[in-house]
Amino acid sequence: MRKPIIAGNWKMFKTRDEAIAFIYKVSEAMPSIKEVDTVICAQAPMMRCLIKRQGENLRIGAQNLYYEDEGAFTGEVSGSLLNSYNVEYVIIGHSERRNYFNETDEMVNKKIKAALRNDLRPIVCVGEHLEERENNLTNQVLTTQIKGAFEGISAIEMEQIVIAYEPIWAIGTGKTATSEQANESCGYIRELVRELYGSIVADGIRIQYGGSVKPENIDELLAKEHIDGALIGGASLDPDKFIAMANAATKK
């Protein structure tokens, strides 16, 4: 009943021309938006030219936003600007933002609120470091991140949210979590949402897995009960791979 969502996170890759060539190739090959949501999250300056060419079934997202709507914040990008360009999704709290740019759960929470008041759909990333998994702290870390992220967010607002479970040790390492590990953690997140918001929200919220997803492993991951899609880094840069992964979700 939950519509799958396949999102590419291009991170800091591709020039304008490379991005346009990609969009021309994939936009016609995307599955119907009635069956699967597909999104490409690109660097902010190239979003406008991608939105113009996105076609019917592909959406463009941002990788970050600032939590104020305007002001003297040199170099930041506002939710109000993203909204004015018809950007639909925004990744919030990616582990690279948390690790390299010191984003805290409190900032993630403010950014989610900024996204929601600007009609953007947040893709909220959570996930543990390798040492945390090895010390059986995964659930504790997820609990802190989820409670921190959604502090003060209402059940109605939760309908706009997508959660991405991205174990940090699986990002860009080629080391995918097993489908069982990924499903277990996505299921744990769903139970946390159930505790906080009840069953209607928990059963409706979409939870993606991210971390070395590729055409070769996406079927097995999407076959799992609690995995409703994927947030894909490296493999989303290749148009043929992105088309294959988007279409794999039609079997969910």
Interacting residue ranges for ligand 13P, rule: CB under 6 A: 9, 94, 166, 171-172, 210-213, 231-235
Strand, helix or coil for residue 243: helix
Cβ 73 to ligand 13P, closest distance in Å?
A: 24
**Apex 23 CA angle, 164 and 69, nearest 5:** 55
Quick one: 58 or 213, whose CB is closer to ligand 13P?
213
Residue 166 falls in the annotated catalytic set: yes
Residue 34 dihedral angles phi and psi, to the nearest 5°: -70, -25
Distances (CA, A) of 75 to 70, 86, 224: 12, 20, 40
Cβ 199 to ligand 13P, closest distance in Å?
A: 28
Catalytic residue among 94, 132, 157, 226: 94
Quick one: 39 or 81, whose CB is closer to ligand 13P?
39
Residue 37 dihedral angles phi and psi, to the nearest 5°: -90, 130
Distances (CA, A) of 168 to 27, 72, 127, 142, 200: 30, 33, 6, 12, 29
Quick one: 94 or 121, whose CB is closer to ligand 13P?
94
Catalytic residue among 103, 132, 166, 226: 166
Nearest to 93 by CA among 45, 164, 181, 158: 164
Cβ 166 to ligand 13P, closest distance in Å?
A: 6
Cβ 245 to ligand 13P, closest distance in Å?
A: 10
Nearest to 123 by CA among 138, 108, 133: 108
Quick one: 79 or 167, whose CB is closer to ligand 13P?
167
Quick one: 61 or 79, whose CB is closer to ligand 13P?
61
C-alpha 92/C-alpha 47 separation (Å) is: 17
C-alpha 247/C-alpha 252 separation (Å) is: 10
Residue 131 falls in the annotated catalytic set: no
Nearest residue by C-beta to ligand 13P? 233
Give the count of beta carbons closer than 10 Å to the beta carbon of residue 118: 18
Cβ 202 to ligand 13P, closest distance in Å?
A: 23
Instruction: Supply the residues annotated as catalytic.
Output: 94, 166
